[in-house]
Structure 1
Amino acid sequence: MADSPSRVSRPLSPHLQIYRPLFTMVMSIVHRITGIALYFGMVLFVWWLLAAASTVSAFDTFSSLAGSIIGMLVLFGFTWAMIHHALGGIRHFIWDFIHGFGPNERVLMAKLTLAGSIILTIAVWAIGLGLKG
């Protein structure tokens, strides 16, 4: 057999430590994190449904925990994660139609997703707390 050629020295694959974090890259990671948060946040939703469907004391227990400061912060974060993930999904839906791939458009859509999620979360909570009284 002939001698095999010597192995060519190639660079290793780049890792996240090499890349400069771009806004769109961070928003992609946040989109994945909100998806995971929604998965675990569904436990709260199921707990609320089960408490509402069972006894008054079970619903009171849920209401007292959800109405606490920590409970409200968790629900606020869950609301933001839901809205942010939905807006990110709309952004990806627009990309499915091959729109918004320009460098400026990508950054603008990512910024609109973040700003929209914050504004809509505050609006939802303002309306909800306003209706609660």
Structure 2
Amino acid sequence: MASRNPARPLSPHLQIWRWGPHMLVSILHRATGSGMATVGTALLVWFLAAIAGGAESYATFRDVFTTDAGNLNIIGYVIGIGLTACLFQHMMTGIRHLVLDLGAGFELKTNKRYAVLTMVASVTLTVLFWLYLGIIK
């Protein structure tokens, strides 16, 4: 039977840890990976079903993700920008993990700085990517 000794040390819990950017980046890495896999799979299935469904089905799919004559489809932009942001966040966090796997960046200040840099870099790359797409029309 387990004893209930109050002097026994307890394992660390979320209430005793201070929230930091390194924790946020870790959670974002998992969320972006799962999100890209889920949304990407759904889009692939929709794309394949649209192709199999004929010209009208494919036109509906295409119209969600393209603009014609200045008509903005907000759903396509939200999905596209969201997936792009997830891709860049996941990629930047993956690079951060590679640096950590090499044995560098474990100091608390450095670790937090790298975590903040991953978020700044992912937002910057997302904005630059969509600016680039807008310029090429």
- Alignment TM class, shorter chain as reference: 0.7 to 0.9
Per-residue CA deviations over 1:43-100 (Å, capped at 9, x if unaligned) read 2541475378654433321122234202211210111001110111111111111011
Closer/same/farther in 2, CA of residues 98 and 126 from structure 1, 3 Å limit: same
Higher mean C-alpha displacement, 60-69 vs 96-105:
60-69
Give, in whole Å, the separation in 2 of the partners of 1:51 and 1:31.
30
Closer/same/farther in 2, CA of residues 122 and 7 from structure 1, 3 Å limit: closer
**Match in the other structure for 2:133:** 128
In the alignment, residue 19 of structure 2 is paired with which amino acid? P
Identity among equivalent pairs (%): 35
**Number of residue equivalences:** 127
Match of 2:94 among 89, 93, 98: 89
**Match in the other structure for 2:78:** 73
**Match in the other structure for 1:32:** 30
Structure-to-structure mapping, 1:1-133, within 5 angstroms: 8-9=5-6, 10-47=8-45, 50=48, 55-67=54-66, 68-131=73-136, 133=137
In the alignment, residue 17 of structure 2 is paired with which amino acid? Y
2:47·2:61 contact (CA, 8 Å) conserved in 1?
Answer: no
2:29·2:89 contact (CA, 8 Å) conserved in 1?
Answer: yes
Mark the runs of 5 or more structure 2 residues left unpaired by the alignment: 67-72
What's the TM-score once normalised by structure 2's chain length?
A: 0.78
Higher mean C-alpha displacement, 54-63 vs 21-30:
54-63
Higher mean C-alpha displacement, 70-79 vs 113-122:
70-79
Mark the runs of 5 or more structure 1 residues left unpaired by the alignment: 1-5
**Bigger Rg over Cα:** 1
RMSD: 2.3
**Match in the other structure for 1:3:** none
1:91·1:109 contact (CA, 8 Å) conserved in 2?
Answer: yes
2:64·2:76 contact (CA, 8 Å) conserved in 1?
Answer: yes
